[in-house]
Structure 1
Amino acid sequence: MSALIIDDIAVSRGAGPVIQGVSFRLEQGRVTALVGPNGAGKTSLLDGISGVAPISAGTIRIDGTPIEKLSRVARAKQGIVHIEQGRAVFPSLTVRENLSLTARTPAEIDAALARFPELEKRIDAPTALLSGGEQQMVVLARAFAARPRFLLIDEMSLGLAPVVFMRLLPIVSEIAEQGVGVLLVEQFTHLALGLAEEALVVASGQVSFQGPAATLREDASLLHRAYLGGAAA
């Protein structure tokens, strides 16, 4: 299995670094939860990995090949798909047209729709007419149709009713089971940790914990210290 290797990277915005000295491996076929307090730098870390924002130090490699100097488009061609905050659909396009933006064949559209049967009856509807939950399904289906090697998901639950989010969450595990490495940023910490095999806690721009997600699930005091920046990485 391939791995996305993050080594000592820094991401700067404005006056200085938002992320500094972060290192970890994202393995294909596994979910890693990236959690931490608001403003800790989680979104900036994802932006640096996918190429939305430049990194100011460190390296990013896939199987030993450096990609940190590649554009966002070139990184996507290497298999990094980034679902950013908010439901980034093209509202004037139909569901089918949205999926066609990433799918290379009709079979890939069919495979994506098989995971989201709710979308099949809306396949020719403009996505502007879909509910928030349906739009998030389109975003996930479009990402799946791109056949990613590594999928970065930033706050999938934002603006969704809990019942809708709980419908979508198991699909993240199913995507990982297909051999995709998933890095999941989520405000519902315990749900993310319950889904993931590995966990990273970022506090004040640095990793305060790195290890099995089960360790944090079973030790609330360790999770609390990590959020405050006091746990060992």
Structure 2
Amino acid sequence: MAITSGKVLVVSDYDRTLAHEKDGFFVSEEVKRRIQSFVERNYFAIVSGREKRLMDIFAKGLKPTAWVLENGTLIFVGDEEILNAPRSWFQIREEVTSRLEKMGINFSVGRVIVYVNNRGFTDQELSQLREICDVEYNRGDAMILPKGINKASGIVKLKEILKFNGKTIGVGDGENDLKMMEVVDVKVAVGNAVPMIKEVADLVLKHEDGEGILELLDLIDSGKLTKKTN
């Protein structure tokens, strides 16, 4: 089925989807220009586990329709910042960080979520944490989130904010993009995506990272993007 009519909303992961690891995760000027051209006619949101302060460095000058950051817990549209998490989370987060300290696990805290880099929890530790929060992995790293909050809930909230009811196209590469794929109309994997993302995708792009995004936007603009019908 071709996706040809009306405005679309592209929701894209950032690391290893929009920006190359070999480039230090700085988005290329070509990709910036292409996205800015695209948002003149459609919507493009960047959905990432990263913090806004880092996006302002790695993607300096890029102005998508919206940013859905810290794995869906914070949404930025223009000058507006929207918290997509219960206020009670911040008290729960204190308990989470206390448990991590007792486990001897190094972590850092964003505006909302807790990051654990390159550390696998034991089954017991993970079970204990999931009593009070959600834990999502992305290529070995972990993000600790409020219960029920993730990239999917962030996208749903963003669509409410934009009052958008058209087709949504999600593109990603890693494990924490699986939730995102559950709430989009067309699932797209960049060429360097992990197997589990490629398995659920309607389309696996030929190119990796930013080049894959350019390929996707070309398909959308040419009316050649299709969705599985089975």
Instruction: Give TM-score, length-normalised by structure 1.
Output: 0.32
- TM-score, normalised to structure 2, is 0.32
